[in-house]
Amino acid sequence: MNVEIYESAKYPGGRCRSFYDKKTNIEIDNGNHLVFSANKYFKNFCELIGSSKTLKEISPNFFFFDFERNIEWNLDLSSGYTKFLTGKKKLIPNTKLFDYLSLLKLFFVSRNSSVFEIVGNSKIFKTFWEPLTLGVMNTAPHLASAKVLSNVLKETIYRGEKFCRIFQPKINWNESLIKPAVTKIKKNGGLISYGNLLKKIKVSNNNVSELFFVKKKIKLNKHDRVIFSIPPTNLSKLLGNCSLPNQYNTILNLHFKIKPEDIALFQQPIVGFINSITQWVFIKSNHLSVTVSNANDLNSIDTEQLIMNVWGEICKYIKKKIKYENVQIVREKKATYVQSPNNINLVKKFKNIPENTMIAGDWTQYNLPCTIEASILSGKKAIETI
């Protein structure tokens, strides 16, 4: 099979990429992509492109610091949730075993419920459900589909520690996913054309007959197939007249370059913050990377103030005033679409595409959150239908 890939950006990777940042003088990932060991398509893909050894596996201990109550704890999932229910694991401070029964509530949920409707009144909402929902679905719990979160729990926490471990790249996602994937494609004769936006398509007899890119036009013949692997709003522009989700949520990342001796002040690889602007801090070899999901509200606030506030939170956490050397902000305004029951229904019902085309992309796998796993699975399914 001859494969040609047309990418509008000048570089590969889309929403999961790394780049050299002049300001901080380091190569950074656009975001902190956390992958659970339950993600079998991700693991298979890494094997296929020969990058498994570039990954590190972190044990499922989620360290949290609550700014309002000034307390910290370790949410240790290293033996699955049953250990909580039998009292064999330390609980979140000031909670009782009973509070963890909300974990069972998410087992059977309807397609139309939001996470908040199911577990909004749980005592562990603020310390467990909210950070989990934001981290996994980049959508506020009152909007996020309970069904999708339930599917994630069934693949991870409900199955035990083996499925809750965390994959992170030893260096960055460029080395673990993008570079090896591009090498594999090229080695197999695939062509990749960058800076080549697909502007328009011509459809004749319910088949795409011509593709109009910024740099060239392609006439398709009878045996050609097209896979549109682009976000829903971009697809709507090409196909016209489709009902697909058009609301997105931002993920904000602040990358702080700090001195090597200051990195040692952080004991854990990943820390979750509660009752703060910062949601997660990823401790890298030469910088700290802060993630804020569902961050549309932060797009219009003063950047200097935002940096100051986030840095203040980090210093409060380590109980020491230190200085960062430089900072870079990456705002991914269309990180994922708003994964609400309504939007997911739109994707589920969407079928009206020309006969010689397929769609791929994380958003097409409506039973899963918009993740690397979903995007890899979507590509696999698209190829299998050719």
Ligand X SMILES: Cc1cc2nc3c(=O)[nH]c(=O)nc-3n(C[C@H](O)[C@H](O)[C@H](O)COP(=O)(O)OP(=O)(O)OC[C@H]3O[C@@H](n4cnc5c(N)ncnc54)[C@H](O)[C@@H]3O)c2cc1C
Please give the residue ranges that form the binding site for ligand X (CB under 6 A): 6-9, 14-16, 30-31, 33-35, 197-198, 229-231, 234, 251, 253, 332, 335, 361-362, 370-373, 375
- Shortest CB 10 distance to ligand X, Å: 10
Buried b (16+ CB within 10 A) or exposed e, 324-336: beebbebbbeebb
CB atoms within 10 A of CB 377: 23
Nearest to 244 by CA among 115, 359, 375: 359
- Long-range contact set of residues 45-51: C-beta below 8 Å, sequence gap at least 24: 45/177, 45/181, 45/376, 46/176, 46/177, 48/184, 49/177, 49/180, 49/181, 49/183, 49/184, 50/180, 50/184, 51/175, 51/176, 51/177, 51/180
CA distances, 354 to each of 5, 98, 207, 357 (Å): 19, 52, 5, 6
Identity of the residue, 124 or 370, whose beta carbon is nearer to ligand X in the bound complex: 370
- Shortest CB 296 distance to ligand X, Å: 13
d(Cα 295, Cα 303) in Å, to the nearest integer? Answer: 13
Identity of the residue, 4 or 355, whose beta carbon is nearer to ligand X in the bound complex: 4
Identity of the residue, 54 or 102, whose beta carbon is nearer to ligand X in the bound complex: 54
- Shortest CB 134 distance to ligand X, Å: 11
Identity of the residue, 14 or 120, whose beta carbon is nearer to ligand X in the bound complex: 14
- Shortest CB 159 distance to ligand X, Å: 18
- Shortest CB 359 distance to ligand X, Å: 10
DSSP characters for 83-95?
Answer: HHHTT-SPPPTT-
Identity of the residue, 92 or 198, whose beta carbon is nearer to ligand X in the bound complex: 198
Identity of the residue, 127 or 291, whose beta carbon is nearer to ligand X in the bound complex: 291
- Shortest CB 154 distance to ligand X, Å: 17
